[in-house]
């Protein structure tokens, strides 16, 4: 199958573009006139997508709905908030357009990022790195006694997809108790799973609550004052999903009142937070600027992932990382 | 076997002392008049040890050499520098005194600490936590591109004992290349081992060099200017062994010249370093105050480890964590 028109709206560097051109030889690459600023931003609306079969990047939703020849959209992100609406889902289904994302490209980096958070929290890294205390001093004893072993502690994961599945593999040697929530457990997950309606009952027993929820109408503000209050005193909260799934004032309150031991956030709403935002001032709130998915040659990995899906598309094989099904 | 006189020179809190008294019922506990200030400090010389069969803590070397009834010394630390001399070793051997340490008590905490270092380095945590940059900004792109995946990277471990063996288990799911050096490889280690004389040839290929060497006459200043120069440009150096095994000026130089990407040190020489020490000022040098082994109920775990060794001693079974053999 050759001669497919493929729209790309991501402004990759020349070396990565060369990889994309090489891997799509025999097809027709159509570049966006106003490409997306980053793999997280959407591209501006433009007419280029109307005459293509495949769109690779972050195409404008209205453009997609108008593009009558489109058969497959491959997103450069793991998140897909702007496409995750009932209307868009129905339109894709009705027109037989497949939608895939890049979650397996980002899973490893996200897992290493949340592991860095988890271990930095257990080993009190922020406190340890900012002191010059002497062996045997009261502060030193407090640091040694305050450091927790992960062994035997309980992790509760909200949102079980590619990232959580890989996180479970990496956590295995630490011998923790692992529980995860997904809307429709499949039964083949390697850890204990709970459904949405049973999630709240798990909050009180968790030492670490890891939020990997996508942002959609159902998940917005999911972690609210009531759920933070249900968490164990001294538990830690992590967010590598989307900022909008958290009531940030409620989280700040939980930190200010010392109900939670810490929050480690890679995502906030908005990004970045204002310099004087309550979460910037809240104690033990550690924020990275939505970099969990990043890694050296991320762009190359994105293109290789798309090309491997393109080979499947050409061969009529099932695509990797299908979403909105 | 009852009525054994057991010397203890550690000033445990009352709850821990109760555990020790309970576990040694039927024996005679002899407390030091001048106990050690911490599990890392030595106790003052005193006559109490002269009439005991077992010493538990950090007994004074000269006292040990005078104590004619001593049969077994159990140290509350993993390190044993002050006992690790040819003279002391020979005296213990000649008099049939067994020496054990608490390395298996500290292994888990040390491994989690070095994993926190390794992942914080890979995910650029210090840089990520200190910025408020926006998605798509030049600094943001640099952070995402500068973050490395551990997968496929190479770790070189200097010193293979209880800590390294456990580290290898925890690193397994990250699919890194692992190489370790020990003086006498046994052949049953789960990763590629090299001897002391082959260590230098490994330096150039490692992305992460983890120093877990004990401090003794052979290891003092082992990581010197020559070895840092042999390391790969951009590699990271970690020390959870002993500070004296590193030429600290050479390390500072390697950081100042950007030859090394970072140093993560839980141990220094002395501890703590002076506020204006060159390593405190060197770029990308991250220091924790010898807290890698600490964890909640560390004292309880130390006593339980001693008591489980005491049961073995009573039953004439091989002791755990034997050293100086």
Return the residue matching tokens 């079974």. Answer: B317
Percent of the residues in chain A that have a pLDDT greater than 90, as a whole number: 90
Say whether residue B286 is in contact with chain A using an 8 A CB cutoff. yes
Q: Say if residue B42's pLDDT is above 80.
A: no
CA distance A295 to chain B (A): 5
Q: Does A11 touch chain B (CB under 8 A)?
A: no
Query: Which of the 8 DSSP states describes residue B232?
Result: P
Greater model confidence, B44 or B71: B71
Is the Cβ pair A291, B144 closer than 8 Å?
yes
Q: Which of A76, A163, A291 to mutate to test the interface with B (most CBs of B within 10 A)?
A: A291
pLDDT number for residue A47: 79
pLDDT for position B2: 83
Q: Which residue has the tokens 């104590």?
A: B67
Backbone torsions φ then ψ of B194, nearest 5 degrees: -125, 155
**Which residue is closest to B169 within chain A, CA to CA?**
A173
Tell me: pLDDT of B39 over 70.
Answer: no
Tell me if domain B5-101+296-323 and domain B106-287 are identical in fold: yes
Sheet holding A72-75, edge to edge: A28-36, A5-10, A54-57, A72-75, A98-100, A322-323
pLDDT at B37: 64
**pLDDT value, residue B33:** 80
What confidence tens digit (pLDDT) does each residue in B198-225 have? 999 999 999 999 999 999 999 999 999 9
Provide the strand spans (E) within chain A: 5-10, 28-36, 54-57, 72-75, 98-100, 154-158, 177-181, 192-194, 208-211, 236-239, 262-265, 285-287, 322-323
- Cβ-defined contact of B133 to A272 (cutoff 8 Å): yes
| Binary contact (A298, B141; C-beta < 8 A) | no
Show residues of chain B in contact with A113, CB under 8 Å: 123, 147
| Mean pLDDT of all residues in A43-69 | 89
Q: Which residues pair with B75 in a beta bridge?
A: B57
pLDDT score of A39: 63
As beta bridge partners, residue A263 has A237, A285
Inspect the interface and report whether the beta carbons of A119 and B124 lie closer than 8 Å.
Answer: no
Residue-by-residue DSSP string for A139-201: HHHHHHHH---STT-EEEEE--SHHHHHHHHHHGGG--EEEEE-SS--S--SSEEE-GGGSGG
User: What's the topology of domain B106-287?
Assistant: Rossmann fold (3.40.50)
Which region, left, alpha or beta, applies to residue B303 given φ > 0 means left and ψ of -120 to 50 means alpha? alpha
> How sure is the predictor about A207, in pLDDT bands with cuts at 50, 70 and 90?
very high
- CA separation for the pair B259, B256 (Å, rounded): 8
Mean pLDDT of B275-300: 97
pLDDT value at residue B40: 64
Which DSSP helix (H) or strand (E) runs through B75?
A: strand B72-75
The Cβ of residue B269 has, within 10 Å, a number of other Cβ atoms equal to 15
- Read off the tokens for B224: 């010197």
**A41–B contact, CB cutoff 8 A:** yes
> What pLDDT is recorded for position B57?
95
Q: What is the mean pLDDT of chain B?
A: 95
Chain A: give the shortest CA distance to residue B4, in Å: 31
Whether the CB of B269 is below 8 Å from some CB of chain A: the reply is: no
Question: Nearest CA to B49 among B39, B34, B40?
Answer: B34
Shortest distance, CA A38 to any CA of chain B (angstroms): 6
The answer to whether the Cβ–Cβ distance between B173 and A174 falls below 8 Å is: no
A86 phi, psi to nearest 5 deg: -60, -40
CA distance A315 to chain B (A): 30
DSSP B223: B
Average pLDDT for chain A: 95
Tell whether A140 is within 8 A of chain B (Cβ).
Answer: yes
Say whether A48 sits in a helix, a strand or coil. Answer: helix
How much of chain B, in percent, has pLDDT values that exceed 90? 90
Is residue B189 very low, low, confident or very high in pLDDT (cuts 50, 70, 90)?
Answer: very high
* A130: contact with B, CB 8 A cutoff: no
Inform me whether the C-beta atom of residue B115 falls under 8 Å from chain A C-beta atoms.
Answer: yes
pLDDT band at A173, cuts 50/70/90? Answer: very high
- Superfamily of the domain at A107-287: NAD(P)-binding Rossmann-like Domain (3.40.50.720)
Does residue B1 surpass a pLDDT of 90?
Answer: no
Asked if B268 contacts B279 with a C-beta cutoff of 8 angstroms, the reply is yes
Tell which CATH architecture fits domain B5-101+296-323: 3-Layer(aba) Sandwich (3.40)
Question: A69: how many CB neighbours lie within 10 A of its CB?
Answer: 11
Mean pLDDT of B30-53: 78
Query: What is the domain partition of chain B in residue ranges?
Result: 5-101+296-323, 106-287
What is the pLDDT confidence band of residue B127, given thresholds at 50, 70 and 90? very high
Tens of pLDDT along A60-113?
999 999 999 999 999 999 889 899 999 999 999 999 999 999 999 999 999 999
Residue B171: is its pLDDT beyond 90?
yes
Provide φ and ψ at A104, rounded to 5°: -75, -20
Nearest CA-CA partner of B120 in A121, A173, A268 = A121
ipTM score: 0.91
Q: What is the pTM of this model?
A: 0.91
- B96 alpha-carbon distance from chain centroid: 26
- Cross-chain Cβ contact A288/B128 below 8 Å: yes
């Amino acid at each position: 199958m050759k001669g497919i028109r493929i729209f790309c709206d991501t402004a990759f560097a020349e070396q990565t573009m060369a990889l994309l051109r090489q891997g799509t030889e025999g097809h027709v690459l159509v570049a966006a006139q106003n490409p997306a600023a980053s793999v997280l931003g959407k591209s501006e609306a433009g007419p280029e997508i109307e005459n293509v079969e495949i769109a690779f990047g972050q195409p404008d939703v209205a453009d997609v709905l108008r593009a009558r020849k489109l058969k497959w959209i491959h997103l450069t992100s793991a998140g897909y908030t702007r496409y995750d609406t009932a209307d868009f889902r129905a339109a894709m289904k009705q027109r037989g357009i497949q939608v895939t994302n890049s979650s397996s490209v980002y899973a490893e980096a996200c897992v290493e990022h949340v592991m860095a958070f988890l271990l930095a929290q257990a080993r009190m890294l922020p406190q340890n790195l900012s002191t010059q205390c002497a062996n045997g001093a009261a502060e030193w004893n407090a640091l040694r006694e305050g450091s927790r072993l992960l062994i035997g502690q309980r992790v509760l994961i909200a949102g079980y997809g590619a990232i959580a599945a890989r996180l479970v593999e990496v956590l295995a040697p630490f011998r923790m108790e692992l529980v995860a929530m997904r809307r429709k457990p499949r039964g083949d997950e390697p850890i204990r799973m709970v459904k949405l309606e049973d999630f709240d009952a798990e909050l009180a027993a968790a030492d670490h609550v890891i939020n990997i929820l996508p942002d959609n109408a159902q998940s917005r503000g999911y972690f609210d004052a009531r759920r933070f209050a249900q968490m164990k005193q001294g538990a830690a909260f992590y967010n590598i999903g989307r900022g909008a799934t958290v009531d940030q004032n409620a989280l700040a309150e939980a930190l200010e009142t010392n109900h939670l031991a810490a929050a480690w956030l890679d995502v906030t709403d908005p990004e970045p937070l204002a310099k004087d935002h309550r979460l910037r001032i809240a104690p033990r709130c550690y924020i990275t600027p939505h970099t969990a998915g990043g890694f050296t040659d991320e762009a190359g990995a994105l293109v290789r992932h798309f090309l491997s899906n393109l080979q499947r598309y050409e061969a009529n094989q099932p695509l990797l990382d299908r979403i909105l099904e």
